[in-house]
Amino acid sequence: MATTYKQGCIDVIQLDEKLTIQELPQVRALLDSAIHERLPQLVADLRRVRVIDSAGLELLFDAQQTCLQRGGSIRLASAGVLMQEVLRITGLNQEFSQYPDVVAAAGAFAV
């Protein structure tokens, strides 16, 4: 199950092993809550993600577009080799800033 927590004043969404169509309602609710509360500065912690489908990729992309429209963004943290490859193949690596861990991703908002 995906969860949220704070890293300083940044919202972190820690995703579970799967980001597929089955997990979308719960993850979408967490993202929507964080995006619409204030300036959306989010980190998606991908450390545990092992499986992602097109619905999961679309959810991340749509959430990023909403954040950008509201003056914020989503930063990706701790993406494994397979996840990095999926992002590269789909071109989504160009849509997100990626960081080695949550602390680095959250800290990048301060720059």
CA distance to 32, 89, 94, per residue, from 36 (Å): 6, 30, 24
Structure confidence at residue 55 (pLDDT): 97
Structure confidence at residue 86 (pLDDT): 97
CATH class of segment(s) 3-110: alpha beta
pLDDT digit string (tens) for 48-92? 999 999 999 999 999 999 999 999 999 999 999 999 999 999 999
Structure confidence at residue 6 (pLDDT): 93
Provide the b/e sequence for 75-94 (b: ≥16 CB within 10 Å): bbbbbeeebeebbeeeebbe
Structure confidence at residue 90 (pLDDT): 97
pTM score: 0.94
Q: Is the pLDDT of residue 35 over 90?
A: yes
Structure confidence at residue 37 (pLDDT): 80
Are the CB atoms for 38 and 73 separated by under 8 Å? no
The tokens describing 4, both together, are 């949220």
Q: How many CB atoms lie within 10 A of CB 73?
A: 19
- Label residue 99 by pLDDT band (50, 70, 90): very high
Give the mean pLDDT of the chain: 95
Q: Is the pLDDT of residue 111 over 90?
A: no
For strand 97-99 and strand 73-77, is the pairing parallel, antiparallel, or unpaired?
parallel
